[in-house]
Amino acid sequence: MAQYAMVIDTKTCIGCGDCVVACKTENNVPAGLNRDWVVEATRGTYPNLTTEFRSERCNHCSHATCVYTCPTGASHYWRDSNIVLVDASKCTGCKACIAACPYDARLIMHPDGYIDKCTFCHHRVEQGLDPACVSTCPTRCMHFGVLDDPNTPVSRLLQSRDYKVLLPETGNQPNVYYLV
């Protein structure tokens, strides 16, 4: 299976939100909803401070609780990969996945009556392109690729840099990595 990962360098992320707007236009995300967002975490007291910006989204977990929780099979893995998708025609809007997701990464409700979320732009991945957020990032702090091959840029970044994932203790095995 292909393990797709996003590796985001917090050292060069400036929190500009370009990833958010690019996702909205690329995927026609309805007004008022977002599939990705930016978190700012400032620590310390003036003038001894650090700020970290993180572009966050669905972690496309290798052990995705949303997929296992979904009663109708709407939440599923795309092909033989870790990309988690929602089949709108099977989704009843029961919101079990929202409760199951530790990352709050699922949109409350698409106006068409299903639970929407980040797709890692699988329609672009299929064509060999990066997700829209990655391809627009003006600081090039976002990287995308597979971890199955140790020589891909994302694999190499994780080999050479310190990194973290969000909420590793859940056991969900998230695939969005933050270089620190």
Distance CA 25, CA 85 (A): 19
For residue 31, the minimal CB distance to another protein (Å) is 6
DSSP character at residue 149: S
CB 142 within 8 A of CB 153: no
DSSP state of 6: E
Minimum distance from residue 151 beta carbon to another protein (Å): 21
Cα angle value 17/20/22 (rounded, 5°) = 110
Q: Which of 66, 118, 137, 176 binds another protein (CB under 8 A)?
A: 137
Span 82-101, contacts to another protein by CB under 8 A: 88
Task: Annotate each residue in 138-157 with x if it binds another protein (CB under 8 A) or - if it does not, as one string.
Answer: xxxx----------------
162's CB contacts (< 8 A; 6+ apart) are 179, 180
CB of 43 to another protein, least distance (A): 9
Residues contributing to the site for another protein (CB under 8 A): 11-12, 14-18, 20-22, 24-32, 42, 44-47, 49-51, 53, 88, 111-112, 123-124, 132, 135-141
